[in-house]
Amino acid sequence: MTLGFGSRAIPPAVSRGTPSAVEVREGHNVTLTCKAEGNPTPSVVWRRQDKQIIRYNGATGFG
């Protein structure tokens, strides 16, 4: 007997997060949050209005 388990792709679902438009003054901090689930695990990329990727301190959370 052989048992096999395949992985099934599950589309990403964002259950909560920061509103799509946030303004912050230059030099000030902002906290951006996103809770997303899926298979494979979704990746989140934050971009500025000019489409540049926002660099961050690497703080992430899973749960």
The tens digit of pLDDT for each residue in 4-63 reads 556 678 877 877 767 777 888 888 887 878 888 888 888 888 888 888 887 766 555 443
Q: Residue 8 and residue 40: Cα distance in Å, rounded? A: 9
Long-range CB pairs of 54-62 (<8 Å, 24+ gap) are 56/32
The reported pLDDT for the residue numbered 28 is 86
The alpha helices in the chain, defined as continuous H runs, are: none
The reported pLDDT for the residue numbered 11 is 79
The reported pLDDT for the residue numbered 57 is 65
Q: Are 30 and 23 in contact (CB under 8 A)?
A: no
Q: Is 42 exposed, middle or buried (0-12, 13-18, 19+ CB in 10 A)?
A: middle
**Is the model's pTM score more than 0.85?**
no
